[in-house]
Amino acid sequence: MALYAAAAAVLAGVDSRQGSLKGLVYASRFQNVKQLYALVCETRRYSAVLDAVIAGAGLLRAERKLRPPLAKVLVYELLLGRGFRGGGGRWKPLLSRHQARLKAELARLKVHRGVSRNEDLLDVGCRPGQASQVPRFVRVNTLKTCSDNVIDYFKRQGFSYQGRASSLEDLRALKGKCFLLDPLLSELLVFPGQTDLHDHPLYVAGHLILQDKASCLPALLLDPPPGSHVIDACAAPGNKTSHLAALLKNQGKIFAFDLDAKRLACMATLLAQTGVSCCQLAEEDFLAVSPSDQRYRQVQYILLDPSCSGSGMVTRQLEEPGAAAPSKERLQALAGFQLRALCHALTFPALQRLVYSTCSLCQEENEDVVRDALQQSAGTFRLAPVLPSWPHRGLSTFPGAEHCLRASPETTLTGGFFIAVLERAEEPSSVSQAETSAPELTPSAATKRKKRRCKAAAAPSTLPRT
């Protein structure tokens, strides 16, 4: 199966230092990037365990044409993963000949180490911590369907819908085939963390986007009305761009920039799959884009999610098990770029509202960058107070920093994230605080809005059949 060959090639590339795990995944040209990424991360996390099992079972001695990276991927799927997908192709009969010995070796390893669970075989630095408690968030793509239709679809598949969550405890308690509606975002469904929907027909058809809740907040808080002109400054891989398009209802324009051609190509595929038609992609450095260019004279909204250390990413512990904090030198370099990008964005003449976000936990990339940009803007822009009930605020490093938002597995059951909303101070903001806080409407009001959106969305018949 092409998935296993692609995963083995990525593993071999990482081991031989040909590139980063994520870079090699994007360069693989395998269509389902997320599926490939997840398989490689999990195989790598269990690498030492798989080496021991494969050696103990004598697999490579018996199958001399089987290379070690591919053997790891196949044995992971057989013993620790979901089982062979798509029938397993020619690999299933090969591994079946050794299945009994491989299972016996895994059982022997558990007995030897005095553990009963697979994850207890992992070294401490590779074991899931608080991040393992993060649920699976699934954003409904309102360009193609609506929450009610998707909920009905899952119910017909045997899932149990538990209604709208009222607290984080409701999310923590999720298990099995139960799911909830997020208490804040009316298009966000919440499943137990181990729920795998990469092969689900709604995901494959572009009706669902697998996107962490914290990653949904930037577009939500930018809140551009339909018809707006928006810049997505560092756009790939495209989840936030597709969210912006959904908020715009494909009415208006999104100018999306990214320097990485391969990531941009994957993004183009994602946008086509999700029905986005209002976006213009450009393989261009946002810092080289002229604010005086007439194409951007109507841009009032900018989403800036620049390259960062990724220290808040839940998947980072899978890519780099036991990874240390980013070095001071790297943080200084990243913060310098982030500050230049933010100050550049604030020079667009029609700009009214900007969201700056990172998936970093580091103050240098977050509060410090926002503070310095506000100082350089000389009072032209200010921090907008948003989501007053959000439990995790910005670090108190400068006056007004409490208007920024932070997220983490411990406090919000999401990936680590930082968000600041800047608005022009010279005139009233185009988005009032009441509108900004709209997701905190009472459930009854939110339900009415959702029903109106459902009527405007695609008909139920457009959903794949169960």
Q: Which residues are catalytically annotated? A: 359
Structure tokens at 49: 């365990």
Report the C-alpha gap between 108 and 95 in whole angstroms: 19
Tokens at 371, concatenated: 């503070």
- Measured distance CA(216)–CA(138) in Å, rounded: 10
The two three-digit tokens of residue 290, written as one number = 């002229």
Q: Is 257 helix (H, G, I), strand (E, B) or coil?
A: strand
Please say whether the beta carbons of 71 and 98 come within 8 A.
no
Confirm if 354 and 400 have CB atoms less than 8 A apart.
no
Calculate helix-pair angle for 68-75, 2-15, nearest 10 degrees. Answer: 120
Sign of CA pseudo-dihedral 113, 114, 117, 122: negative
**261 class by beta-carbon count within 10 Å (0-12 exposed, 13-18 middle, 19+ buried):** exposed
Angle between helices 367-376 and 328-345 (to 10 degrees): 40
Report which of 392, 391, 409, 319 is spatially closest to residue 130, judged by C-alpha positions: 409
* Distance, CA of 442 to CA of 454 (rounded, Å): 18
Asked whether the beta carbons of 394 and 403 are under 8 A apart, the reply is yes
ω into 128 cis (within 30 of 0): no
Long-range Cβ contacts of 313-320 (<8 Å, 24+ apart): 313/359, 313/415, 313/416, 314/131, 314/134, 314/212, 314/409, 314/415, 314/416, 315/37, 315/41, 317/126, 317/128, 317/129, 317/131, 318/41, 318/42, 318/44, 318/45, 319/20, 319/21, 319/22, 319/41, 319/44
What is the C-alpha separation between 57 and 432, in angstroms, rounded? 65
Record the tokens describing residue 466, joined without a space.
Answer: 């169960």
Instruction: Choose among 153, 140, 147, 151: nearest CA to 246.
Output: 140
C-alpha to C-alpha distance for 125 and 129, rounded to whole angstroms: 9
